[in-house]
C-alpha cells in the first residue's frame, strides 16, 4: 500500500511502502483481502457475516492473512540426501489429506467436514463446517520421484523427497590457475 502525502509546496508525492523487500507479495495480498472484506462488509450491511462464516474457516485459519483464509504455510528444507516439505494441519486426520506427485509437481490437498447436532427441550441445532486447501510445489530434477514418502503424525505432515544419487555428490573445491 502506497500512501500519498502533501509536501510543503502543495504537490502530492508518493511515499514508498513500509514493507520489507521480500514481503511485497504478502503485503499486496493482505491489502487486496482488506479491500475485498470492505466490499463484502458494505454489501452485507449489518448482517455480521464474518462472525457467521468464521466457524467454517476455523480449521484452516491463517492469522498472518487476517484469519479465516484457507491458506496454510508449508516449510521446505533441504539436507544432503533429501528435500522435506512439512506443514502443521491441526484438526485433520490422515484420511482428510491427499498427497500426489505428477510430472514433477507435488500437490498436497485436504478437506475437513464437521457436523454436530444438539437437541434439547425447546431447540434443535445442527451445525456444519467445511474447509479445504490445496498447495502445489514444482520439484527440481534432483528429486527421486520413485522414493517419495509422506508421514502424518500428531497433526504434522512431512513429505520426504529423496535426491537422486547424482545430486548427493558433495561439492568440491576447484582450483584456479593462471592462463
d(C-alpha 20, C-alpha 17), whole Å: 9
Residue 11 falls within a domain, yes or no?
no
If asked whether residues 61 and 112 sit together in one domain, one would say: no
Q: Are 110 and 95 in contact (CB under 8 A)?
A: no
**Mode of pairing for the β-strands spanning 105-119 and 97-102:** antiparallel
| Nine-digit cell string for 44 | 452485507
Shared domain for 140 and 112, answered yes or no, is: yes
Q: What is the domain count for the chain?
A: 2
pLDDT bin (cut points 50, 70, 90) of residue 2 is: very low
pLDDT reading at 112 higher than 50: yes
pLDDT of residue 37: 73
What per-residue confidence (pLDDT) applies to 71? 62
What is residue 69's predicted lDDT score, i.e. its pLDDT? 39
- In this predicted structure, what is the pLDDT of residue 50? 45
CA distances from 21 to 18, 27, 71, 77, 159 (A): 9, 10, 22, 22, 30
Residue 63, Cβ neighbours under 10 Å: how many?
Answer: 8
Residues 144-164 have a mean pLDDT of: 94
pLDDT higher than 50, residue 117 = yes
DSSP 3-state of 169? coil
Percent of the chain having pLDDT more than 70?
65
**Mean pLDDT over residues 94-99, rounded?**
93
Residue after which a domain boundary falls, among 6, 40, 65: 65
Asked whether residue 155 is assigned to any structural domain, the reply reads yes
Q: Is residue 124 a part of any domain in this protein?
A: yes
Place of cell 500437490: 107
Q: Residue 112's beta-bridge partner residues?
A: 131
- Per the structure, the complete domain to which residue 31 belongs is given by 16-65
Tell me, what's the pLDDT at 122?
A: 74
Contact call for residues 148 and 162 (beta carbons, < 8 A) = yes
Domain CATH code at residue 148: 2.60.40.790
Residue of higher predicted confidence among 151 and 73 = 151
46/98 same-domain check: no
Tens of pLDDT, residue by residue over 33-85, are: 778 777 766 655 444 444 444 444 444 444 333 333 356 788 999 998 999 99
Q: What helix, strand, coil percent values describe the chain, rounded to 5?
A: 25, 35, 35
pTM listed for this prediction: 0.52
Amino acid at each position: 500500500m502506497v500512501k500519498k502525502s502533501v509536501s510543503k509546496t502543495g504537490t502530492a508525492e508518493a511515499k514508498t511502502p513500509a514493507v520489507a523487500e521480500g514481503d511485497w507479495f504478502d503485503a499486496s495480498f493482505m491489502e487486496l483481502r482488506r479491500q475485498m472484506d470492505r466490499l463484502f462488509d458494505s454489501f452485507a450491511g449489518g448482517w455480521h457475516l464474518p462472525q457467521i462464516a468464521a466457524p467454517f474457516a476455523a480449521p484452516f485459519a491463517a492469522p498472518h492473512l487476517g484469519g479465516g483464509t484457507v491458506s496454510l504455510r508449508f516449510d521446505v528444507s533441504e539436507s544432503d540426501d533429501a528435500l522435506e516439505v512439512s506443514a502443521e494441519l491441526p484438526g485433520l486426520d490422515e484420511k482428510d489429506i491427499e498427497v500426489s506427485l505428477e510430472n514433477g509437481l507435488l500437490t498436497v490437498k485436504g478437506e475437513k467436514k464437521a457436523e454436530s447436532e444438539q437437541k434439547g427441550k425447546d431447540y434443535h441445532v445442527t451445525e456444519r463446517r467445511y474447509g479445504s486447501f490445496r498447495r502445489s510445489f514444482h520439484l527440481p530434477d534432483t528429486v527421486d520421484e520413485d522414493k517419495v514418502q509422506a508421514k502424518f503424525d500428531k497433526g504434522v505432515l512431512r513429505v520426504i523427497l529423496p535426491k537422486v544419487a547424482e545430486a548427493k555428490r558433495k561439492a568440491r573445491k576447484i582450483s584456479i590457475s593462471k592462463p
